[in-house]
Structure formats: C-alpha cells, structure tokens
Amino acid sequence: MKILSIDHGDKKTGLAISDKNEKLASRFLTVKNKSSDNLIKEIKKIILEKNISKIILGIPIGFKGESAQTQNIKGFSAKLSDNIEIPIIEINEIFTSKMAEENLRKAGVKSEQIKKIIDQEAARIILQDYLNKK
C-alpha cells in the first residue's frame, strides 16, 4: 500500500506518493483546481490506480493560528472525507512552499519549471516529513 500527500492551494493542488514500503516520498502530479468535486474525482481515481491506503493533507497553521486558507482546506478535507473510505491525516504544512522552492533551486531546476512542480515538491516534503516521523 502507498500513501498520497496533498498540498492543496487556491489554484493548484500538488500530489506526492510514497513507495510501497512507505519510506520514500516522490513528486507525482499537479492538478488545477477547477472545482473541489473535480479534484475529489481525480483523487478517488488515483486511490484506486495507485493502491493508496491513506492520505496526508497539509494544513497551513501559522504562528498566529488558523487563517481563512486553513479553514478553506479544512472544508476541503471534510468534503474529501465524505467521499472516500481511507483515513485522512491532517498535518501542519507551514513553510513547505518556501522549502519546496529552495529545494528545486538547489537542484538546478529552472524558474519556469519550478512554477509547474512546486506544489508537487511541497506535497513531497509534507509526505517525507510524515514518513520520517513514522
């Protein structure tokens, strides 16, 4: 079984997947947020195709507590939970976008490519952090 990680944003959602031994996270896909229903449909498809056993969902909780974005993502989490049968684990993902950009720049990824995969890299960071703590 594998784990799917989600970095949910306003315009795009980054996805990452673990290996079957749940040791290593890899960037997977970026989905444009046309609607939450469309995104949930895509996630349900991935769950079946990739044999996903649980979802790690990044929730941005800053130093000042919850923001409008935090509430937005928690709403998405509740809707996703209503539509799938596997567990969803919410973890704080503060600063993952900054870390993702830094990782990609250090790896020599060009700026135009960074924009395309930064959400996937943020999801990978979220997932790898979860796997390391497990």
Q: Where are the domains of the chain?
A: 2-133
Return the minimum-mean-pLDDT range out of 6-20, 39-53, 62-76.
62-76
Coil vs helix vs strand at 121: helix
Please write down the HEC assignment for all residues of 20-86.
CCCCCEEEEEEEECCCHHHHHHHHHHHHHHHCEEEEEEEECEECCEECHHHHHHHHHHHHHHHHCCC
Coil vs helix vs strand at 133: helix
Question: Looking at the predicted structure, is the pLDDT value of residue 82 above 70?
Answer: yes
User: Residue 71 has what pLDDT?
Assistant: 84
User: Residue 72 has what pLDDT?
Assistant: 87
User: Residue 90 has what pLDDT?
Assistant: 93
CB 91, CB 130: distance < 8 Å? yes
**Which CATH superfamily does the domain covering 2-133 fall into?**
YqgF/RNase H-like domain (3.30.420.140)
* pLDDT mean over 113-131: 93
Question: Mind listing the pLDDT tens digit for each residue in 25-68?
Answer: 999 999 998 888 889 999 999 999 999 999 999 988 766 767 77
